[in-house]
Structure 1
Amino acid sequence: MLCGAPHNVGNEEGKINGLPFNRALRDESSAILDLMFGTFFICGLGEENFTDIPDQAIPKYSKMFSRNEFLIKTESGVGVFTL
């Protein structure tokens, strides 16, 4: 799956294959766009290959993914919680 810039690359079938929940993918306002199951990586995208993300983006993504997220089933549905 490729989304955004830089790109998140992961197993598109992680949900249906029963891989463990990893985290929610969110938009700029923190609204959940999708749920990621299994491992993934973040990279830049060149013309033909994956590339490094720019150095100035490293602090942003380090902070974004520094805390674990948990998928919790509640009476009102599913919730994603960060610890």
Structure 2
Amino acid sequence: MLKLYTRAQARLNSLRAEDGATATEYALVLGLVAIALVVAAVALTPILNDFVKDVGTWMGLQGDKVGTPAAPAGGAG
């Protein structure tokens, strides 16, 4: 009976020890995902910037002033 209790206690202790490892694994995965997101953002910035400028040009906005409306065609005043 004591042998069974000792085995059960050892198994419970090993399960408790694995909880810390699981938290560490989650932290490592979270860190890797964060690094991947930063790398993707840096790599995609020029592509997205060109895309936004192209959409702005298509909508009639001027060059680098994306977000600023183009001057009226007939002129003001």
Same-fold call, TM > 0.5?
A: no
- Give the strand-richer structure, 1 or 2: 1
Q: TM-score range by the shorter chain?
A: under 0.3
Q: Which structure shows the higher helix fraction?
A: 2
TM-score, normalization: structure 2?
0.19
Q: Which has the higher contact order (CA 8 A, sep 6+)?
A: 1
Normalising by structure 1, we get a TM-score of 0.18
